[in-house]
Amino acid sequence: MFAFFALSTVLVFVLIQCVVSRGRSVPAPRPAAASNPSTVAGFEMRDDVRFHPGHTWARDVAPGVVDVGVDDFAARLLGGAGRVDLPSIGSRLAQGARAFTVRAGPGRTADLVSPVGGEVVAVNPRLAGDPALATRAPYDARWLCRVRCDDVARDAKHHVDGPLAARWTESAADELDFEIDSLLQWGCRDGGQLVADYGSRLDRASWRRLVSRFLLT
C-alpha cells in the first residue's frame, strides 16, 4: 500500500514537472500592443518593434521573450522567398550572427543576422507551407522564430526605434538608391514609386553585393 502511494506521488510530481517544462519551452505570448504603422522613405515601419542594423527586428511578446523577423527594407531587397531555413528549437543564437537563410530563387540565397542572443523556443509553423510570408508581410504575424533572450537590455543597446529608426531607414534608403542608380541607372524609387522587389531587376552578383552590404552578412 505504501509502495503504491509512493509511486502515485512520484507520477504526479513527474506530470507536474512535464507541464512546467512545456510552459518554459514555449512561452505563451501576451496580447500584442496596438501598433501604429508608418512609412519612412517608402518603407513600412512599426512602433512596436526594435530594429537591428542588419534589418531584422525584435518584438517583445513576454518577459524576456521576443519574436524576430525581417523588416520591410530587407523584404524588398530580398524579393520573394521561395524557402526559409530557420534554426531548430533549442538552438542558440548570438546577436549579430547569421541565423536565418532566405532562398529567393536560383542562385539567390541570403543569410540574415539575429537581432538578439538566446535560445530558440518556437518557430513560425506557417512558413513551412508559405515561405513567402517572411518577406510579404514582415510586421504582422510573419515572425520567423521566438527567442528567450539572454539579456534583453544588453541586446536593446544595439537596436534602434522611434525617431532614430526613422532616420536610420532614411539613410539606408538613400544609400540603396545611390547604389542601384549606379548599377542600373534607375533608383529604388522607380518613377517615383518604391520598387517592391529589387532582386528581380538585379543580376546575381549585384544582388549578392547589396544583400551582403545592407544585411551585414
Q: List per-residue pLDDT tens for the chain, 217 residues long.
A: 433 333 343 333 333 333 333 444 445 555 445 567 899 998 999 999 999 999 999 999 999 999 999 999 999 999 888 999 999 999 999 999 999 999 988 889 999 999 999 999 999 999 999 999 998 877 877 899 999 999 999 999 999 999 999 999 999 999 998 888 887 765 555 554 566 677 777 889 999 999 999 999 9
Place of cell 513576454: 62
Chain length of the chain = 217
The rounded Cα 22 to chain-centroid distance in angstroms is 24
Residue type, 182: S
Domain segments of the chain as ranges: 40-217
**Cα distance between residue 112 and residue 110, in whole Å:** 7
Is the pTM for the entire model greater than 0.85? no
Angle at 140 between CA 136 and CA 145, to 5 degrees: 85
Q: Are 91 and 119 in contact (CB under 8 A)?
A: yes
> Could you tell me if 178 and 170 are in contact, meaning their C-beta atoms sit under 8 angstroms apart?
no
Domain 40-217 grouped into CATH 3.30.450.90? no
